[in-house]
Structure 1
Amino acid sequence: MSVAYLIEFQVREDQRGRFLSLLADVLDAMKQEATYCSATLHEDPGDPSRFLLHEVWTDHEDVVNVQIHRPYRQDWHAALPELLEGERRIEVWQPVHT
């Protein structure tokens, strides 16, 4: 069964461009993964420094044990303390009806 991740980011104003560039590299690389389904990055229309990432994968265990450790994510993860105002908020959801 697939699993969805909702990840909220509050980006520092002066880091918006870097945030988007680093995340775009990760999102593009993720598309090649066998357990990847989709990902969409949303911007809050009232706050251009607030983002919501919606990712869908086929296997939660693969995400936590393999995907988050991929080399293409290293620069992204290392930069997060500089990019964000605070911690990301991550929620995990499972489909009930499609």
Structure 2
Amino acid sequence: MTTSPQQTTEFLVFLPVRPAARDEFRAKLFEIGDHVAQEPEFVSCSIHEDADDPDTLVLREVWACGRDELFEQLKRPYRTRYEAELSSMLEGERRFVFLTPPIATYPA
């Protein structure tokens, strides 16, 4: 077990995608991911399908900045079109779940 002193922000994003918009949404999400990966504060992101609902995507993101700075990322120019079209591609609201720093980690 190790503890993590590094200051990062980790969170999950739940995206309940409309089945009819699945392919379009994924294409736009992957395009945004290419831009986000170039941000200096970006650490990592993984995109998952909910095992019980493949139309719900779950992102796990790690950033080397605080929560307030993360919401500023949503205003980047490359996100303008994506943010404007997001609600038409989702069944419900996008939901963010911010995580506390790890209490403990167990490497393999």
Say whether the fold is shared (TM-score over 0.5). yes
Residue equivalent to 2:70: 63
| Corresponding residue SS for 1:59 | coil
Q: How far is the alpha carbon of 1:64 from its aligned partner? A: 2.0
Query: RMSD between aligned alpha carbons?
Result: 1.3
In structure 2, distance between residues paired with 1:20 and 1:14: 12
Q: Aligned pair 1:27/2:64, yes or no?
A: no
In structure 1, distance between residues paired with 2:100 and 2:63: 10
Identical columns (%): 35
Residue equivalent to 1:40: 46
In structure 2, distance between residues paired with 1:64 and 1:46: 29
Bigger helix fraction: 1
**Contact 1:22/1:75 (CA < 8 Å) preserved in 2?**
no
In structure 2, distance between residues paired with 1:7 and 1:79: 17
- When Rg is computed on C-alpha atoms for both structures, the one with the higher figure is 2
Q: Which amino acid aligns with 1:82?
A: S
Q: Aligned pair 1:49/2:55, yes or no?
A: yes
Q: Which amino acid aligns with 1:62?
A: E
| Corresponding residue SS for 2:74 | helix
Q: How far is the alpha carbon of 1:46 from its aligned partner? A: 2.9
Moved over 3 A (4+): none
* Structure 2, gaps ≥5 residues long: 1-6
Residue equivalent to 2:4: none
* Structure 1, gaps ≥5 residues long: none
How many residue pairs match? The answer is: 97
**TM-score, structure 1 as length reference:** 0.90
